[in-house]
């Protein structure tokens, strides 16, 4: 696509129009599944689920996140490209100092030190990060706002390696790098209204307009695409809640004979 646009502009002298808004509309360009199709696919996979209205989906998911649960979020059209942007994402509360380690070891099955990125409401980004611009594709890096940073003590400064890495750097330590930076995704009401509503409700519950957003996959696997992919992830990892469209799936409700072993499926990177 980029090559074709380049030829059109540079060789055929066609004008290039740059819009002020996001022309790719969040890059939600890949497959989506109708609610009836989701329910049929999950049923055929052996999943146990309940179907509830969207408002209830938002309420239950926001409360689960505020309670410290890791949630699989499978909504609408899948993102195009290498980033999870709130359509095929694993979500969690960024406040916990231990959640980064737990997500890596029990959900992503990779090294504990790997950082996660924040999704933040666009209208709140400047209050939490040293950034006041659009970053819908998680491409811009900015420091956490000074008011949210936590200076290290002299004793913490003397730590080494993983011990020093694990020292909380801010009010949202799970998405704050060792140098106080973060790779920010701004979430826009116009391009992903459901994800925007979820983060807004989480903010009402916690005071924080930020969620951990990491790709919906384990080490060695591509990002999930279909409802069946998402269900297999639920059964192969330690996430506690899966939301696919308007379907809610709780780990404790599932058939234990369908449990899979993702943890030992691939060698460490």
Checking if the pLDDT of 99 tops 90, the result is no
| pLDDT average, residue stretch 158-181 | 91
| Per-residue pLDDT band at 81 (split at 50, 70, 90) | confident
The tens digit of pLDDT for each residue in 206-246 reads 999 999 999 999 888 899 999 999 999 999 999 999 999 99
Q: What whole-number percentage of the chain has pLDDT above 70?
A: 96
Checking if the pLDDT of 31 tops 90, the result is yes
pLDDT of amino acid 19:
66
Checking if the pLDDT of 266 tops 70, the result is no
Higher-scoring residue by pLDDT: 108, 31: 31
**Crossing angle of helices 193-206 and 54-66, rounded to 10°:** 40
pLDDT of amino acid 13:
84
pTM above 0.85, yes or no: yes
| pLDDT average, residue stretch 90-98 | 91
186 CB burial (10 A radius; 0-12, 13-18, 19+): buried
Checking if the pLDDT of 61 tops 70, the result is yes
CA 4 – CA 23 distance, rounded (Å): 17
pLDDT of amino acid 219:
80
| pLDDT average, residue stretch 141-168 | 92
pLDDT of amino acid 1:
63
**Residue-averaged pLDDT of the chain:** 92
Q: Which residue has the tokens 């109708």?
A: 34
Higher-scoring residue by pLDDT: 97, 126: 126
Buried b vs exposed e over 84-115: b needs ≥16 C-beta within 10 Å? bbbbbbbbbbbbbeebbbbbbeebbbbebeeb
| Per-residue pLDDT band at 161 (split at 50, 70, 90) | confident
pLDDT of amino acid 263:
74
pLDDT of amino acid 75:
98
| pLDDT average, residue stretch 162-184 | 92
pLDDT of amino acid 162:
81
Checking if the pLDDT of 72 tops 70, the result is yes
């Amino acid at each position: 696509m980029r090559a074709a646009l380049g030829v059109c502009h540079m060789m055929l002298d066609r004008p290039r129009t740059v819009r002020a808004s996001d022309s790719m509309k969040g890059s939600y360009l890949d497959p989506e599944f109708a609610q009836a199709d989701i329910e049929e696919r999950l049923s055929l996979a052996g999943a146990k689920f309940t179907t509830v209205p969207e408002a209830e989906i938002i309420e239950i998911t926001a409360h689960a996140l505020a309670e410290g649960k890791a949630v699989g979020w499978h909504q609408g059209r899948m993102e195009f490209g290498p980033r999870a942007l709130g359509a095929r994402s694993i979500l969690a509360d960024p406040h916990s100092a231990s959640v980064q380690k737990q997500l890596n070891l029990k959900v992503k099955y990779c090294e504990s030190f790997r950082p996660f990125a924040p999704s933040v409401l666009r209208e709140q980004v400047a209050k939490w990060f040293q950034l006041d611009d659009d970053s819908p594709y998680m491409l811009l890096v900015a420091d956490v706002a000074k008011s949210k940073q936590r200076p290290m003590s002299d004793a913490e400064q003397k730590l080494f390696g993983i011990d020093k890495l694990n020292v909380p750097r801010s009010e949202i330590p799970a998405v704050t790098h060792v140098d106080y930076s973060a790779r920010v995704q701004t979430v826009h009401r116009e391009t992903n209204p459901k994800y925007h509503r979820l983060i807004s409700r989480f903010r009402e519950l916690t005071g924080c307009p930020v969620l951990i957003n990491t790709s919906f996959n384990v080490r060695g696997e591509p990002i999930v695409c279909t409802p069946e992919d998402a269900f297999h992830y639920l059964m192969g990892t330690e996430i506690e809640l899966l939301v696919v469209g308007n379907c809610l799936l709780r780990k404790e409700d599932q058939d234990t004979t369908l449990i899979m072993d993702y943890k030992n499926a691939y060698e460490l990177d």
